[in-house]
Structures are given as C-alpha cells and as structure tokens.
Amino acid sequence: MAAISSARSPRAIREPAHPAAARSSPRIELCLGPAAASLLVGDASRVKSWHRRETKTAGGLGLGQGKLVRDKIPQIIRSKGLQPITYVADVDEYGVRLRDKLAEEVDEFIASDDDPEELADILEVLYALAEHAGTSPQQLERLRAAKAEERGAFTGRIIWCGNRP
C-alpha cells in the first residue's frame, strides 16, 4: 500500500521500496490534484502550496509537481511507448497553472533570441487565460485595439524616464 510522504507535500504518494532497492532506486511519486490529495490526507488546508513544490525523480522529471501541458502531449508521449502520469486540474488549479505556464513561456522566449514559435506559445497561453477569465480571443483583441487607440501601442520604442519637476 502506498504511503503519504510527510517530508515533502501531502500530494506526494510514495510506493514503499524493498529495503535493498531503497538505497539504489529512485522513489516513485505520483502526481495528484489537490482534491484527490485532500481526500488522502483529510485536510484540504494542508494541500494549498502544492503547485510550488519541486520533486526530483528518475530522469530529473518533477513528477510530484507536474506542469500544465498542451492537450495532445499525453498522446504524443504514448506514441513514443511511454506512459504519462496525468490528471485534469480543477478550475482554481488551472488558473494558477496557466499563470505559471505564462511565466515559463515568457522565460523561454527571452532565452530564445526572439523565436516566433515561443511567441506563439505565449499567445496560446494568453488565449487560455482569457477564456479562463471569461473573455474570448475576439474580445481580447477588441480590448487590445481599444487600448492601442487610446494610449498607443509599443511600436514607437519610447522609453519613459520620469517627469521634470
């Protein structure tokens, strides 16, 4: 039977290892959503910081933390003969994971030397964030255009340094 790892997060479930294997094998941790984790630990308040925990396992993969991926990624992983461990986030977790994904994609774009594919990833996350907030991509574009009309865009390369007294 699996035991809950109390040293890290109540979300991490560890399979007990054979004593001899425990010294040489990486532990197995499953990635659970907060609702499932709260059922296991019986106290949802202990699971609030689940999305920031890092767990290193075999291959350097943070299975305990998990991350939001595109919808077809599990299928792509399966096509390579591997078995992904996934779950569907609830609405609250999804909002947090989208924000984390936006920061990740922005960091990747900055490191990429202006790769337009990274910009496309950012745009995909922005569309998902807009939908999560109840705004369609069309409404988001109307809001962007209205702000550009009222306040301008960023095409003029203007750097503001403050105001003179």
Q: What would the pLDDT profile of 98-130 be if each residue is shown by its tens digit? A: 999 999 999 999 999 999 999 999 999 999 999
Most confident segment among 22-31, 58-67, 132-141: 132-141
pLDDT per residue as tens digits for the range 24-60: 434 334 565 555 454 444 444 433 344 443 333 333 4
What's the pLDDT score for residue 33?
Answer: 56
The answer to the question of residue 28 being in a domain is yes
Q: Is the pLDDT of residue 15 over 80?
A: no
What's the pLDDT band for 65 if we cut at 50, 70, 90? confident
52 and 108, same domain (yes or no): no
Kindly report the pTM of this predicted structure: 0.63
The answer to the question of residue 52 being in a domain is: yes
DSSP, residue by residue, the chain: --EE-SSS-TT-EEPPPPHHHHTTSPPPEE---HHHHHHHHS-GGGGTTGGG-----GGG--TTT-----TTHHHHHHHTT---------HHHHHHHHHHHHHHHHHHHHHTTS-HHHHHHHHHHHHHHHHHTT--HHHHHHHHHHHHHHH--STT---------
What domain count does the chain have? Answer: 2
Q: Which of 1-5, 81-85, 132-136 has the lowest mean pLDDT?
A: 1-5
Q: For residue 18, what are the domain limits?
A: 1-66
**How confident is the model at residue 118, as a pLDDT?**
97
Helix (H), strand (E), coil (C) string for 127-155? HHHHHHCCCCHHHHHHHHHHHHHHHCCCC
Q: Tell whether 2 and 33 lie within a shared domain.
A: yes
Q: Which of 51, 66, 81 is the last residue of a domain?
A: 66
> Are residues 56 and 13 located together in one domain of the fold?
yes
Query: Does pLDDT of 81 surpass 60?
Result: yes
The reply to whether 97 and 42 lie within a common domain is no
> For residue 157, is pLDDT > 60?
yes
Report the DSSP beta bridge partners of residue 3: 14
